[in-house]
Structure 1
Amino acid sequence: MSSHFQGSWRFSINYSLGVFVLLGMVLLSDGYGPCNFKPTQWSLAHATFYGDETASATIGGACGYGDLFKNGYGKETAAISPVLFMNGKGCGGCYQLMCVDSKWCITKGGGYGGYGGGSTSVIVTATNLSPPSWLKPSKGYTPGVHFDLSVPAFKKIAISQGGIIPIKYRRVPCVRKGGITFTLQGNNYWLLAFPMNVGGAGDIAQMWVKGCRTGWISMTQNWGTAYQAFAQLGGQSLSFKLQSYSDREIIIAYNVIPPYWRVGMTYQAKVNFH
């Protein structure tokens, strides 16, 4: 084999490997790689419900998601107790819940009264704050953890006459369609952004914003999932960098906001956590 051929062959392999590595980095940075957030172990707690069949009482809430139906969260939502809410850092997390050891549990066959295995489950998004559990902690149950479900979500796992039911729960990845959305409030000198439709872990630890004429500006949490920046950003296209709370993954949504942005508008990125 000639030295020229050997050099070309090595270059081709190195170039191909470089392309694959670069492609992998792009996929991960864009949030379109394999599922990064893994389900946690099951734990025990209690759950109840609030509102009625329409789930209209769930609209709004302490996370700042507003109209849950319009913004894609639907009826399968939950208010979570302070130990899970964590001053808003727990907003957006997804939980799989299953009724256990109760005569009110709904079974997979459509009946009720199932004990232990065989019960149905539901996946809900944390969108609100509930009071802590006032029940006396029993063996194996996580102190202070409580879920207030929408009625439609509760009725997927238990008969409503059960009131407060024992459950097992775990964190699971949030599966979302499309990219993260950003609803803007404030003015040209004070930006308030609400990230929604967040996949993967679903929660947000930190946000940064960058105008086309600025560097990255660290945003502070205002309340719930609302993050703010005191900067003159009017008339600039905006990019956001987000870090998830549970697994510390970081993604960047470049130029997601056009320079003619207005408060009250919602803009969708092409990237998301997974």
Structure 2
Amino acid sequence: MVRYGNTVVLMSSMALFFVIASSDIGWDVATATFSGDQGAGTTPCGYGDLAMPDYGIETTGLSSALFNNGLGCGACYLVMCYNSTLCQPGSVLVTATDFCAPNPSKPPEAGGWCNPPNKHFDLNKPMFLKIAVQGAGIVPVQYRRASCQTNGGIKFEISGNPGTPYVMNVLVYNVRGAGDVQQVAIKGSQSNWVQMSQSSGQNWQTGTQLQGQSLSFQVTTSDGKMLLSDSITPANWHFGQTFEGNQY
């Protein structure tokens, strides 16, 4: 845990000034804005339609300081506004599903909220309005990692090109606990374990020929916990299918 002393950061936006003061033990400090529509389209995390039941509207984009080149996708955070007249009481639990891209042409206090090394949450608008008053644009927040609460097992969505069946992409999502997957291994019923490589976000890829084999997966999250989902597909699986494994 980290204690923040009497560090003071002054930020402004449209004549709005607020102070980020000392933080409680176990919490870090950041800023938050909102995104108008995270309901459709593919995000850098690879989750596709964010209106799907697995994540709903309780989502956020992360600045690069938290996004960790896509390995931060799936992590959950408890976020609350503080030390501002724009705050609403309480906190929100959100899952990282998107990337808040930097804007190098603008300074951090005037549009470059997500520029490195800033820690910033681009919250889905309904979540933002739970911690900030209507009309607020940017607010200071405290945040900390939280355990992800999901329904059902981990989802493995298999995709690829039938013309190159040896190249397989697997999107891993709906992960309980730490939420952010750091490593994925795959095994066919007639082959050995193969470590997959991150292609983008929580998309994991292998060039091993696994067609015609039942598939098993090993998933490791940022807390170092590994989970095995053994033989969760039939041997005649095909691209475009999603399979459900075990859960933390």
**What TM-score comes out, normalization by structure 2 length?**
0.81
CA distance in 1, matches of 2:134, 2:29: 19
* Higher helix content, 1 or 2: 1
1:23 maps to which residue? none
Structure 1 residue 190 displacement after superposition? 1.1
Instruction: Check whether the contact 1:235–1:260 (CA below 8 A) recurs between aligned residues.
Output: yes
Structure 1 residue 251 displacement after superposition? 0.7
Choose from 184, 189, 203 the match for 2:180.
Answer: 203
1:248 maps to which residue? 224
CA distance in 2, matches of 1:214, 1:235: 11
1:104 maps to which residue? 86
Instruction: Check whether the contact 1:71–1:197 (CA below 8 A) recurs between aligned residues.
Output: no
Cα RMSD for the two superposed structures: 1.8
2:32 maps to which residue? 47
Residues 1:265 and 2:241 are matched in the alignment: yes
2:139 maps to which residue? 165
Letter in 1 for 2:239: V
The residue matched to 1:161 in structure 2 has which SS? coil
Structure 1 residue 101 displacement after superposition? 1.2
Residues 1:235 and 2:247 are matched in the alignment: no
- How is 1:1-274 mapped onto 2 (pairs within 5 angstroms)? 41-52=26-37, 55-56=38-39, 59-70=41-52, 72-106=54-88, 119-132=89-102, 134-135=108-109, 143-186=117-160, 187=162, 188-245=165-222, 247-269=223-245, 271-273=246-248
Per-residue Cα deviation, 1:61-115 (whole angstroms, up to 9, x for no partner): 1100011222510001000000100111100000010011111211xxxxxxxxx
CA distance in 1, matches of 2:241, 2:203: 15
Structure 1 residue 260 displacement after superposition? 1.5
Q: Which runs of 5+ in 1 are unaligned?
A: 1-39, 107-118, 137-141
Structure 1 residue 231 displacement after superposition? 1.1
CA distance in 2, matches of 1:217, 1:180: 19
CA distance in 2, matches of 1:42, 1:257: 41
Q: Which runs of 5+ in 2 are unaligned?
A: 1-24, 111-115
Instruction: Check whether the contact 1:65–1:71 (CA below 8 A) recurs between aligned residues.
Output: no
Letter in 2 for 1:255: S
Per-residue Cα deviation, 1:126-168 (whole angstroms, up to 9, x for no partner): 00110358139xxxxx951001011111111112311000110
Say how many residue pairs are matched.
212
**Percent of aligned pairs with the same residue?**
42
Structure with the bigger RCO (C-alpha within 8 Å, sep 6+) is 1
> After TM superposition, where is structure 1 displaced by more than 4 Å over at least 4 residues in a row?
none
CA distance in 1, matches of 2:134, 2:35: 10
**What TM-score comes out, normalization by structure 1 length?**
0.74
The residue matched to 1:62 in structure 2 has which SS? coil
CA distance in 2, matches of 1:86, 1:226: 14
